[in-house]
Chains A and B, each alone.
Chain A
Amino acid sequence: MAKLLEVRNLTTRFRTERGAVMAVDDVSFDVDAGETLAIVGESGSGKSVTALSLMRLIPNPPGEITAGSVMFEGQDLLKLSDAEMQAVRGDRIAMIFQEPMTSLNPSLTVGLQVGEPVQLHRGASWKAALEKAGELLARVRIPDAKARVDAYPHQFSGGMRQRAMIAMALACQPKLIIADEPTTALDVTVQSQILSLLKELTRETGAALILITHDLGVVARYADRVSVMYAGRVVETGTAREIYKMPQHPYTRGLMACVPRLDGVLGDRLVPIEGSPPDLTRLPPGCAFAPRCSVAEPGCLKARPVLEDVGGGHRKACFVSVESGVPAHA
């Protein structure tokens, strides 16, 4: 079966006073119809820039997609005209941002905003679009939805605004939803309500989901597959079960070891990853993780590892193999 989305060698950089920021560096991944792919990584690892690049929303200048392709339903999105891309956005691909207050217009009613994609992409009348908005708000379980079509965003709580964003994303039954840290600003109990709702709705509509998060717990609960990013690159990718059971990349292993767990053994000391992420304008020639890596070999500083299959679609970009501790490039 053809992939819904095939991202190949995507490279996005920003020109700044300090030099070129390699925000996304040769990133490749696939998304199948109906599946949830989590992109996980720390702050500045390039998750949002990846998402914005797919949607062609990178501000230029200072940003530029310098290489790669984004095949979506057989079409390279990077080759579309602006008007053609406009027709894809909010229709076949929808995006949910982290902070709904900045992505909802405070001076327009929620109903107008949730209904807009229907009016824009389906040529519906505003009356029909507003009616649809009421249905969509009910679908994301906003109490009293029909009456709330005329409310303004500030009259909604944080959780309700995020529900409204989900309703807007669902408006045209997209094939792919990209949710960039959709619940980071919300309380834990609300967070799990919203993520469960999003997951349930994608299951119902058959939409695929790219879920961007820095929370390994969220990944474990909601994702089918995972791509782990570090310093603009994908360092490991595979099914969630595989990656949690047998993380192969030293960075992924480090991440798993350094987060305390609700069910962890009490009294154990956390094992931090020493040092901090690299400056993206001054990336080392070898593996970007090498300066922090506890199993790095001299070769890791010289050449850059690429993603290689370690079995069953599980891939990692690292020279050193976990079991033996022997570098793969030796």
Chain B
Amino acid sequence: MLEGHPNIDFWQETVPGMIVKNGVCTGIVTSLGLEILSDSVVLTNGTFLNGLIHIGEKNFGGGRAGEKSATGITEQLLSLGFESGRMKTGTPPRIDGRSLNYDKMEIQLGDALPGKFSYTDTPVIEKQLPCYITYTSEDVHESLREGFDRSPMFNGRIQGLGPRYCPSIEDKINRFADKDRHQLFVEPEGWNTCEIYVNGFSSSLPEDVQYKALRKVAGFENMKMFRPGYAIEYDYFPPTQLNMNLETKLIKNLFFAGQINGTTGYEEAACQGLMAGINAHLAILDRDPFILKRSEAYIGVLIDDLVNKGTNEPYRMFTSRAEYRILLRQDNADIRLTPIAHKLGMQGMDGRLERVNSKIENASRIERYFDDTSVDPVLINDFLDSVDSSPLRQKVKARSIVTRPNIDIKDMRRSLPYLESYLSQYDEETITIAEVSMKYDGYIRKEQEMVDKMDRLESVKLADHFDYKTLKSLSFEAREKLNQIRPRTIGQASRISGVSPSDISVLLVHVGR
């Protein structure tokens, strides 16, 4: 991966600032005072900028447990005119797996037929580790409450806003006072360690309070702790200060990605890194920025939300944030995006594009087979009966069976030997694509129509340097927001909070539509 790449060099040092001249970033300075030059810089400081760790009444500078925080960058950016904010997040204690009684917990196994993430030839996991589920109780909550007066969350010491969807245990028992228990997931940290992550028990209460309360959890009676949970506060930069390519509006060739933009989560961070890396490269060559549409990828939704709506609490992705969910599926990400990456000139995409093309071709072959093949009642009625689907009276096309609810190809091929023998030449992923396409055809079409409608607004460009203050028929808020965010298209303008449909009509008239 990283070290295997001939284009990547490494240097270990803390970076306290960038070299910025006349609104252009041309490199970095290091803590040793070295100046290293570059065409562009991508900042991915995570939780480290002026990071402050809280455990109970104690707090100390740090970017993560056991690591120093980073100062200098925030201060420099503020002096350059940026605005910064403060957020917080937390993590649960890590404990000794040898001290747990798993008999008192529910076991949670991996899938019997596990999948994987990459569309490349990575291995499928063979042996898996189990996780366990246990619960807190009134007793546990009582124990935690005893420490509330020493909690940095409740005594006002923590100022930053935390992730609403990943609250600490003290937050949960406070906010959901009527719930007498909360679920905890007991997750192994790896193959060769007994360390356990207690998912659901994020806390910044004093370590002795965490310890006492955890020991009251079923199965944790003899629990030994490795590391206490803690909360961390850090600086972020409201992402409305970015262009859609993740370059800052104020400083040319300076890009931000990850938690520094107010997001939370590895996946959210990683995808921004990917986009910033690509765009930093494109900017050097004066090529068009790489922007994914909301209808093309969750990544597009994420960046569009950040830049146009901003966020004042840690932003994480949900399916509900995407308006085109049936198009943005996990099974078709390669079909949606690999051709785009190939066209951009991303290395190593030739073989992968071929793969995608043959997947598309094979999936439509499978669909055609279902269109053309008839199913005999004699052969299929037993199967239909077994899944409570009404029996056939005469032959029908196979497609009309697949599109019935409760039916899936996997079960169907088990009872139809000729179907099994036809499908055995294709891999699971290709069959899934064909199946989803047949079953959800109507929904897919409807969403595609919405996308096309939206795309028409998306293609109406707005001038780069227009002063919206001069357009008096816009609402006051719209004028302010449009001047601040400077949308590239009417579509983008329509998603800015504070820009109403009537403002959009004004803009459409203004550009002559």
Chain A partners chain B: no
Which B residues are within 8 Å of any A CB, using their own CB? none
Which A residues are within 8 Å of any B CB, using their own CB? none
